[in-house]
Structure 1
Amino acid sequence: MIDKNVVARIVEEWLEDKSYFLVDVNVSPDDKIVVEIDHAEGVWIDDCVELSRYIESKLSREEEDYELEVGSAGIGQPFKVLHQYVAHVGCEVEVLDKTGKKWTGVLADANEENFTVTVEVKIKPEGAKRPKLVEQNVTFTYDEIKYTKYLISFK
């Protein structure tokens, strides 16, 4: 079986001096290799082809036959690495916390310990007849959530 760490090292070599980043490498028991990369401005098919050829040049099909798939981290898929959070600061995201509550807002900040989402909440000011929408920052640690996804807006 092809070693996942070997594939990851090959991908990291290709990524040097590029603004792409590695999201995930998966190698199944039957040697199907799936590599996911991402970029703040999206992933180009030509770059996926170039990376695929680079990986193929470093692996020997004579030693082990394999199937290779190189693509972008899917839109609407949960974030897997910190770099995805950092790349999407300023974008609208959906967060599902471990209590089952969904939060929708703008990703305001992200670091190694936690991330912050600016959400709109209804608050009824004292003496007011109706509640009004107020922006509020909600900070999560990564172990408090089930997932965070980039939200696609068609507005």
Structure 2
Amino acid sequence: MLKEEVKRLLEEALEENPSLFLIQFEIKGDNQILVVIDGDNGVSVNDCIAVSRKIEHNLDREEQDFSLEVTSAGAASPLEIPRQYKKNLGRKLSVRTENQQFEATLDSATEEEIVLRWKAREPKPIGKGKVTVKKEAVLKYADIVEAKVMITF
């Protein structure tokens, strides 16, 4: 009952601001409602407040006691869904698969896979010394164990 009602209110809140999207929604024991959102243009405190109010103001505390936490996906949070990859095109990612690790620029993202590009120094095919070569990796989301945006200062 509570879960369906909260889900409906959450969907309405996200319809009111189409640049926002849901990353996680869960109700833990003691009716502790946890919502994590992200946005194509980032998420402001006001965005979190708007979603929180939409849910909180339409639930009856007399009927059911609950706590509500609406947060944004943090800068260090792993990327979870294709829409998050798409909003980070051109940024450097750290991507781990079962048996490989990449630090590369996110070149493209579809609903099924991502393309990473980077430059590497490799020995020349003939002669001494090294040459810079352009590398590319196409990874399916199912093969990605974890992907994070690399924050540089």
Answer yes or no: same fold by TM over 0.5. yes
Summarize deviations over 1:43-72 as a string: whole Å, max 9, x none: 111121121111112222222211111111
Summarize deviations over 1:10-44 as a string: whole Å, max 9, x none: 22211215211111112112211111111233211
Structure 2 Cα separation of the partners of residues 128 and 62 of structure 1: 80
Structure 2 Cα separation of the partners of residues 137 and 62 of structure 1: 57
| Residue aligning to 1:34 | 34
Unaligned runs of 5+ in 2: none
Unaligned runs of 5+ in 1: none
Paired-residue identity, %: 33
SS of residue in 2 equivalent to 1:27: strand
Q: RMSD over aligned Cα, in angstroms?
A: 1.7
The one-letter amino acid of 1:142's match is Y
The one-letter amino acid of 2:114's match is F
| Residue aligning to 2:82 | 82
Q: Is the 8 A contact 2:13 2:50 kept in 1?
A: no
TM-score, normalising length: structure 1: 0.88
Which runs of at least 4 in structure 1 moved beyond 4 Å after TM superposition?
Answer: none
The one-letter amino acid of 2:102's match is W
* Range that drifts further, 118-127 or 24-33: 118-127
Structure 1 residue 66 and structure 2 residue 66: aligned?
Answer: yes
Structure-to-structure mapping, 1:127-146, within 5 angstroms: 127-146=126-145
1:73 Cα deviation after fit: 0.6
1:130 Cα deviation after fit: 2.1
1:123 Cα deviation after fit: 2.2
| Residue aligning to 2:2 | 2
The one-letter amino acid of 1:45's match is V
Q: Is the 8 A contact 1:7 1:25 kept in 2?
A: no
Structure-to-structure mapping, 1:15-26, within 5 angstroms: 15-18=14-17, 19-26=19-26
Relative to structure 1, the CA distance from residue 59 to residue 78 in structure 2 (aligned partners, 3 Å threshold; closer, same or farther) is: same
Structure 2 Cα separation of the partners of residues 113 and 121 of structure 1: 26
TM-score, normalising length: structure 2: 0.89
1:129 Cα deviation after fit: 2.0
1:128 Cα deviation after fit: 4.0
